[in-house]
A and B are shown apart, each in its own frame.
Chain A
Amino acid sequence: MELKEKLISSFVAFEEGLKGEHERLHDIRLEALKLFEEKGFPTKKEEAWKYTSLNSILKNDFSIIPKNETVVEYKEVKKYLLSDSDTYKLVFINGIFSSHLSSTTHDGLDVCLMSSALTKPKYKMIIDAHYNTCVDKNDSMTALNTAYATEGAFINIPKSKVVSKPIEIIYLSTTENQALLVQPRNLIIVGENAHVQILERHQSITECSVFTNSTTEIVAHKRAIVDFYKLQNDLDTGTLIDNTFIKQKQESRVSVHTFSFGGKLTRNNLNFYQEGERIDSTLKGITLIDGKQHVDHYTLVSHNQPNCESHQNYKGIYDDNSIGVFNGKIYVDKIAQKTDGFQQSNNVLLSDKAHIYAKPQLEIFADDVKCSHGCTIGQLNDEAMFYMRQRGIPKKEAKALLMYAFTDEVMQSVKIPELKTKVARVIAKKLGVSMGFEI
């Protein structure tokens, strides 16, 4: 049976297995399933998916509903975590929460499970107010997630709370012989004037096909500050479709850094909706891939109110046969005067066989705005290489130094030092060097 049919026909049984959810959820799930049934999986025929095909992935026979908890030792997952103790952690294995690897809290803020938020009466109001309100209801992958998602991170930061340590959301998979479809769902609500840093990661521990269709909703209230980091360095058996929707209120500042270093196929749909004045949205990314890896960034910043800013800065380095896609859309509503929208995508192709497809999309309906976009595609600079090698820096290291320099602008704005070090190490490893660059 094809995956689409399997998902549609299994839905009733799936819902019967759910216990005690808030009533509204049934309607939400059903409506979403209907949309998915109508639209199905995206294909290259759609403009938005022109360069990215899911065909080869959909052929797998996926297990679509999470089984029981798998136990994994801490020492096996340690290397995927930022720190032993200095973070809140939500760790999921094969889609199921792992309490012994996690560190949750209800003390002054909620860092807990989506499954409890969807069932416990005390969260009913907040779920009713926010769940599934940021998403694009016409997106079929998001709809599929909405229909089936039961687990993920639920984070609720009250007014004026400055969260003292970063929150890590880690999805691991350990499947051996069974291809797995996992559909995490995160809801993050950051109250007025609150401040939080979050790191999200999807990682296979074993080499077996895993298809992750993740949806994250973030609501940033007035003057909230949210720094969100996505670290994507999966094995070549992992496919990730990430749909992230961010609703920003007046004067809030939200940044998302996406580090795409691995995985078979990664699609990042990153959507910002500005719903107040003097909002600042930042989207930055470093993509460093090789082999046959494929990373597709599809961003949207929707400027709906006056006097807001957005900054997009994506750096891509593509080796071997890898493929990169950058599609950045800036929408400016007719009332969104004085919008300052900036978008930049810089790419380096290290091989003749690597490809990058880059396309800015500006839809501007206001007349007093400042919007700019730029895209560069280059090769390694031979003159710079020779200059560095003349000073005794070997070819590989010289190349790495140039690539570090190339990504520096994005690295500079990472605010968690441990993460910065970790990302720098991954970059060094990917470039085949081990050196102490200070970045």
Chain B
Amino acid sequence: MLKINNIHASVEDKEILKGINLEVKAGEVHAIMGPNGAGKSTLSSVITGNEAFEVTQGEIMLDGEDLSELSPEERAHKGVFLSFQYPVEIPGVSVTNFMKTAINESRKAQGLEEMPASEMLKKIKEKAELLDIDRKFLSRSLNEGFSGGEKKRNEIFQMAMLEPKLAILDETDSGLDIDALRIVANGVNKLKSKDNAVVLITHYQRLLEYIVPDFVHVLYDGKIVKTGGKELALELEEKGYDWIKNSVK
């Protein structure tokens, strides 16, 4: 589904990604771990087309199609979703209106009619229940004054609404309490199927107990320096990153 070949990316002439290769197949869950500043969020920005980063080399393919010339919205229309590490506050736009607009713009791009209001309401209700989100919450301004945990939960609500093919969850677990983590993980698992894929960026093994990865990658200094199975996460949790850093040097 997703195939990243030798991606190099920089911001303000500083190279951050230094040749990343990654292949994610439909039905798989990949975890990406790594120390602060390694480039994990940068990788997610580059996959989703954030213009703040410049891709200097390499390619990103989604189902055989090169994404490099596509705008962020076009990538979204192809089913790429990012749960942001730091969701942006948008005062004056309610969660509901934002989702309605997002869904209908995606449908428009696919040549479909707008979703009928009743269907939309039903869907909102269903997904809000899945993530245990109070309806009142949905009429509030997007992310404005949301607690850290509420923001993350709302990201997954949006994922549930948009039903992406490839979901990248950038530290969705940070800021969630135990109950919320379970609800969110459960939500992600429910949305999981053999046709879609999830990339989890995380610092903690505990998320991976709920959403079990097929592969765990370690990203360090702009490169994937180690790949293993779910047991690698446990090992990292125990030993930290130093042994990996040392082995790279």
Report the minimal beta-carbon distance from B7 to chain A, rounded to whole angstroms.
Answer: 18
Query: A390-B82, A392-B109, A395-B71 in contact; A384/B88 too (CB < 8 A)?
Result: yes
Q: Which residues of A contact B75 (CB under 8 A)?
A: 390
> By the criterion CB–CB under 8 Å, are A404 and B92 in contact?
yes
Verify if A230 is at the interface (C-beta below 8 Å from B).
no
**A383 / chain B contacts, CB cutoff of 8 Å:** 88
A437 touches B97 (CB 8 A): yes
A409 to B91, CA, bound (A): 10
Contact B73 A395 (CB under 8 A): yes
B76 engages A392 (CB within 8 Å): yes
**A389 close to B97 (CB less than 8 A):** no
**Which B residues are in CB contact (< 8 Å) with A404?**
92-93
Question: At the interface, yes or no: B48 with Cβ under 8 Å from chain A?
Answer: yes
B84 interface contact, C-beta 8 A = yes
Q: In this complex, what residue of A is CB-closest to B86?
A: A383
Q: How far is the CA of A384 from the CA of B48 in the complex (A)?
A: 14
User: Which of chain A's residues 344-399 have a Cβ closer than 8 Å to chain B?
Assistant: 381-384, 386-395, 397-398
CA distance A381 to B144 in the complex (A): 15
Q: What total of A-B pairs shows CB separation below 8 Å?
A: 81
Evaluate contact between B84 and A387: CB separation under 8 angstroms. yes
Bound Cα distance A409, B93 (Å):
11
User: How many of chain A's residues touch chain B, expressed as a range?
Assistant: 20 to 34
Q: Does A135 contact B (CB under 8 A)?
A: no
A323 to B235, CA, bound (A): 61
Shortest Cβ gap from A346 to chain B (Å): 11
* With A397-B105, A401-B101: A389-B76 Cβ-Cβ less than 8 Å: yes
Q: Quick one: given A386-B50, A386-B52, A408-B92, are A393 and B105 in contact (CB under 8 Å)?
A: yes
Bound-complex Cα distance A78 to B122 (A): 39
A394 to B101, CA, bound (A): 10
Give the shortest distance, in Å, between B114 (CB) and chain A (any CB): 8
Interface pair A387/B87, CB less than 8 Å apart: yes
Given contacts A391-B162, A393-B102, A394-B105, contact A384 B73 (CB under 8 A): no
B93 contact set on A, CB distance < 8 A = 401-402, 404-405
Question: Which one, B48, B52, B92, B141, contacts A390 given CB within 8 A?
Answer: B48
Cβ of A435 within 8 Å of any chain B Cβ, yes or no, is: yes
Q: Are B84 and A392 in contact (CB under 8 A)?
A: no
A392, B51: Cβ atoms under 8 Å? no
- Do A435 and B101 touch across chains, with their CB atoms under 8 A apart? yes
A402 touches B105 (CB 8 A): no
Q: How far is the CA of A436 from the CA of B158 in the complex (A)?
A: 20
Query: Which residues of chain B in 72-87 are interfacial with respect to chain A, using CB atoms and an 8 Å cutoff?
Result: 72-73, 75-77, 81-82, 84, 87
Give the residue name and chain of the A residue nearest to B93 (CB).
A405
| Closest Cβ neighbor of A406 among chain B residues | B92
Contacts of A388 in B (CB 8 A): 90, 98, 102
Closest CB-CB distance, A423 to chain B, in whole Å? 15
Bound-state CA distance A395–B91 (Å) is: 18
Interface residue? A46 (CB, 8 A): no
- Residue B106 interfacial (CB < 8 Å): yes
CB within 8 Å of A: which B12-59 residues = 48-52
Contact A389 B52 (CB under 8 A): no
Chain B, 107-155, CB within 8 A of any chain A CB: 109, 114, 141
The interface residues of chain A lying within 8 Å CB-to-CB of B72 are: 386, 389-390
The smallest beta-carbon distance between B145 and chain A, in angstroms, is 15
A408 to B144, CA, bound (A): 15
A47 close to B (CB within 8 Å): no
Most chain A CB atoms below 10 A, which of B50, B82, B105, B106: B105
Q: How distant is the Cα of A408 from the Cα of B97 in the complex, in angstroms?
A: 13
A306 and B107 CA atoms in complex are apart in Å by: 57
CA distance in complex: A404, B97 (Å): 12
Q: For the complex formed, measure the closest distance between the CB of A330 and the CB atoms of chain B, giving whole angstroms.
A: 26
CB distance from B111 to the nearest CB of A (A): 14
Is A16 located at the chain interface by the 8 A CB criterion? no
Docked complex Cα distance between A287 and B50 (Å): 30
Subset of 24 A-B contacts with CB under 8 Å: A386-B51, A386-B52, A387-B87, A390-B72, A390-B73, A390-B75, A390-B76, A390-B84, A391-B158, A392-B105, A392-B106, A392-B109, A393-B73, A394-B105, A395-B73, A397-B101, A401-B98, A405-B90, A405-B93, A405-B141, A408-B92, A435-B104, A437-B97, A438-B97
10 shortest interchain CB distances as A-B pairs: A405-B92, A392-B76, A389-B72, A408-B92, A391-B102, A387-B88, A392-B106, A389-B73, A405-B93, A394-B73
Other A-B pairs beyond A386-B51, A392-B109, 18, CB < 8 Å: A386-B50, A386-B52, A387-B90, A388-B102, A390-B72, A390-B84, A394-B109, A395-B71, A397-B105, A401-B101, A404-B92, A405-B93, A405-B141, A406-B92, A408-B92, A435-B101, A437-B101, A438-B97
